[in-house]
Amino acid sequence: MNSFGWVGLLTLFGLVAFGAIVPVVPTGALVSGAAVLAGAEMPLDVLVVIGFGAAGAYVGDVVTYAALRGAGVTLAQRMGWLRAADPTRALQLVRERLERSEVRALLLSRLIPGGRIPVLLAAALGGYPLVRFASANVAAAVLWSAVYASIGIAGTAVFPNPTTALIAVIICALVVSVVPGLIERMREPKTEEV
């Protein structure tokens, strides 16, 4: 790994894992930027970036899932997710949907801003087995990492200069991951302060 280096790969892994546990780090932008840097000199190194990004996402997801299983009901009640008329039935429905299309549900929860934690919490509260989650999440993490690395590759195709491509890709990945949440907040009705 000449172009990106082992330190860069381990840093990518650590930051993506941390961002999966504490969702304040723009993990998609990290993978996209790493793909730009790795692919600048050695295009095949992008596959290694995808692997390290996926491994970080996977480890972070498993840790988050395990933590949510432990804090589950209390956390869900605090956040208002169990205020449904029949919370047990609501959790069962989420679990059934997850079981029907595990990889797709987990991948979409990673790609939709703010979607991962609610899906993981619902799966944890619904009794979705950890082993089954861990198995299905492998493909979801790899696909997620490949999607964001593809954004990086597209950036290098549009902008041949690696520095320009890196800046453009990070901006694009941040827009993709932040703008939908901002739009959702703007749509929420504002409460008047008394």
pLDDT averaged over consecutive 10-residue blocks of the chain (194 residues)? 76 94 86 84 85 96 87 65 63 74 80 77 79 88 92 83 80 70 65 48
Q: Please tell me the predicted confidence (pLDDT) of residue 14.
A: 96
Q: Please tell me the predicted confidence (pLDDT) of residue 194.
A: 42
Query: Has residue 190 been placed in a domain?
Result: no
Query: Has residue 187 been placed in a domain?
Result: no
Query: Has residue 184 been placed in a domain?
Result: no
Report the half-sphere exposure of 47 (CA within 13 A, side-chain side).
Answer: 3
Measure the CA–CA gap between 33 and 180, rounded to whole angstroms.
21
Q: Please tell me the predicted confidence (pLDDT) of residue 89.
A: 72
Q: Please tell me the predicted confidence (pLDDT) of residue 184.
A: 63
The residue among 61, 42, 63, 41 whose CA lies nearest residue 53 is 61
Query: Has residue 192 been placed in a domain?
Result: no
Q: Please tell me the predicted confidence (pLDDT) of residue 78.
A: 64
How many domains is the chain built from? 1
Tell me the torsion sign for CA atoms 61, 111, 97, 74: positive
Query: Has residue 191 been placed in a domain?
Result: no
Query: Has residue 188 been placed in a domain?
Result: no
Query: Has residue 35 been placed in a domain?
Result: yes
Query: Has residue 65 been placed in a domain?
Result: yes
Q: Please tell me the predicted confidence (pLDDT) of residue 193.
A: 47
> What domain range includes position 93?
6-179
